[in-house]
Amino acid sequence: VPAAPPGPLGCDDPESEEAAEVAVSYINGRSHHGYKFALNRIENIRVIPEGLNSDIIFLELDLLETTCHILSPTPLENCTVRSFAEHAVEGDCDVKLLRVGRKFSMLASKCHSHADSSEDILQVCPDCPLLTSLNNTEVLTTVTAALNDHNSKTADAYLRLLEIGRAKIQYHPAHIVYVEFAVAATNCSAKEAKDNVEACQLLPDDQSNYGFCTATIATTQDKSQDLRVDCQLYGHQVPTPDSPFLSRPGVTYSQSVQDTP
Amino acid sequence: SVAKRAVAEVAQHDKVPRPVGFLPPPPPPCPGKIRHFRI
């Protein structure tokens, strides 16, 4: 009696997890803004037989933002998923893969990310700082002050701002602005930049040296400000291919869908 | 005359025993497990 066809793939089957891993690696590998995302849940899977030993697989994935900026060389498995209290950001992705035998290849992906609702956070953590717009005046002021502070004290290369990754503001019990931003080394030392900052350009791709900074400005009752900055450079890495974007909360990007013939 | 016989309440011990090896239905195939937390 011919063997019964295999039952439908379950969302927690090893094969589904393998396909999801390929998809998440593809999405992170082709993104160059924001943060890396990790798999949180496989929402659904649909398999459409395509021919002898090959199928089209549609996955609905639920991802969560990690604390690793997309330019960080840290492997995804070592990236911490941002906690609920840090105001998590979720990514919802629909992906389409081709499976031939045990080999998966990506055909298309479409992702939308959104931050958790402020009500949810405040319900659990009334004093937690909440995500704020990246072009908020206080955020821009804090990033500028932090980068200037770092560049005025470092003996290394002069750093330029690449992008602001995220920003939060806490109002109680103290007024604190938290910012995270990506930076890149330039061809100047910080000292040279003092003389002619216009001449300081980002290093070419084959010498690029990216980094990441976190900073806070706490404003006390008497309006004095306490600035703290921490910048770490990653060292030179091989640039990755271009890609769709994922982790701007609230913005949807889609991969140009190459439908299968 | 035909009288409908009241069906006696099935006594506990007469209840149809479950077949040996009865397994609860498998969990639905999707959505899958949550690896971190739900937002």
Question: Measured between beta carbons, which residues in chain B are less than 8 angstroms from residue A8?
Answer: 29
A76: helix, strand or coil? helix
Tell me how far the alpha carbon of residue B6 is from its chain's centroid: 26
The identity of residue A222, as a single letter, is D
The predicted pLDDT at position B20 comes to 66
Give the model confidence (pLDDT) of A155-186 as tens digits.
999 999 999 999 999 998 889 999 999 999 99
Choose among A79, A36, A84, A68: nearest CA to A180: A68
Inspect the interface and report whether the beta carbons of B36 and A81 lie closer than 8 Å: yes
Rounded mean pLDDT of A63-78?
A: 97
- Residue in chain B closest to A14 (alpha carbons) equals B32
Report residue A79 CA to chain centroid gap: 11
Highest mean pLDDT among A65-69, A123-127, A239-243, B10-14: A65-69
Task: Judge whether B29 is closer than 8 Å to chain A, CB to CB.
Answer: yes
Q: For residue A155, give the amino acid letter.
A: A
Mean pLDDT, to the nearest integer, of A60-80? 97
Please answer yes or no on whether A42 and B34 come within 8 Å at the CB atom. Answer: no
Contact present, A9 and B29 (Cβ < 8 Å): yes
ipTM: 0.81
pLDDT tens-digit profile of A38-64?
Answer: 999 999 999 999 988 999 999 999 999
* Span A138-144, average pLDDT: 98
Distance of CA A252 to the CA centre of its chain: 14
- The DSSP letter of residue A252 is E
Written as six digits, the tokens of A79 are 């990236």
The first and second tokens of residue A249, run together, are 């909360």
For residue A140, is pLDDT > 70? yes
Residue B28: pLDDT band with limits 50, 70, 90: confident
Specify the 3-state DSSP secondary structure of A141.
helix
Across the interface, do B30 and A43 touch by the CB < 8 Å criterion?
yes
For residues A86-106, give the mean pLDDT.
Answer: 96
DSSP label at B31? S
Number of CB pairs, chain A paired with chain B, less than 8 A apart: 49
